[in-house]
């Protein structure tokens, strides 16, 4: 996705993520979520791996994750932390903006 389109939260059609995960186990987990986007175990396997990779290589994965589970604060937090590790502070601001615009109930959480 381009810089001008940090997240397409309104997009209900998730595009398959084309990341070379480098192992059969991880590629199988990717195939599993391509077939069944609600498979939390497969997402968990890939999330753990993605947290150990450079954000530029896995950004599309994180965008698909938060588009699939837009009300999961945990997943948004993981994505934002990855952007912060990559020192992409402008992107952090944009991701937070999308988060609060798509989840207005978060304004009322203390």
Distance set, CA 107 to CA 57, 82, 97, 102 (Å) = 31, 23, 12, 11
Q: Report pLDDT for 14.
A: 59
Radius of gyration of the chain (CA): 14
With 80 as the cut, is the pLDDT of residue 107 above it?
no
With 90 as the cut, is the pLDDT of residue 52 above it?
yes
Greatest mean pLDDT among 17-21, 28-32, 68-72: 28-32
Domains (range + CATH), the chain: 23-108 (1.25.40.10)
Q: Could you tell me what percent of the chain has a pLDDT over 90?
A: 49
Q: Report pLDDT for 108.
A: 54
Query: What's the pLDDT band for 5 if we cut at 50, 70, 90?
Result: very low
Using a cut of 0.95, tell me whether the model's pTM lies above it.
no
| Closest C-alpha among 77, 107, 105, 104 to residue 92 | 77
With 60 as the cut, is the pLDDT of residue 50 above it?
yes
Q: Report pLDDT for 45.
A: 97
| Closest C-alpha among 76, 64, 71, 77 to residue 104 | 71
Q: Answer with the residue of higher pLDDT: 34 or 18.
A: 34
Q: Report pLDDT for 38.
A: 97
């Amino acid at each position: 996705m381009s810089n001008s389109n940090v997240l397409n939260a309104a997009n209900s059609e998730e595009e398959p993520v084309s990341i070379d995960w480098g192992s059969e186990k991880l590629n199988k987990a990717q195939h599993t979520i391509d077939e069944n986007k609600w498979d939390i175990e497969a997402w968990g396997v890939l999330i753990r791996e993605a947290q150990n990779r450079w954000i530029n290589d896995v950004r599309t994965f994180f965008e698909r994750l938060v588009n699939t589970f837009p009300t999961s604060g945990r997943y948004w937090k993981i994505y934002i932390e990855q952007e912060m590790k990559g020192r992409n502070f402008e992107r952090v601001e944009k991701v937070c903006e999308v988060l609060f615009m798509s989840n207005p109930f978060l304004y009322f959480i203390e």
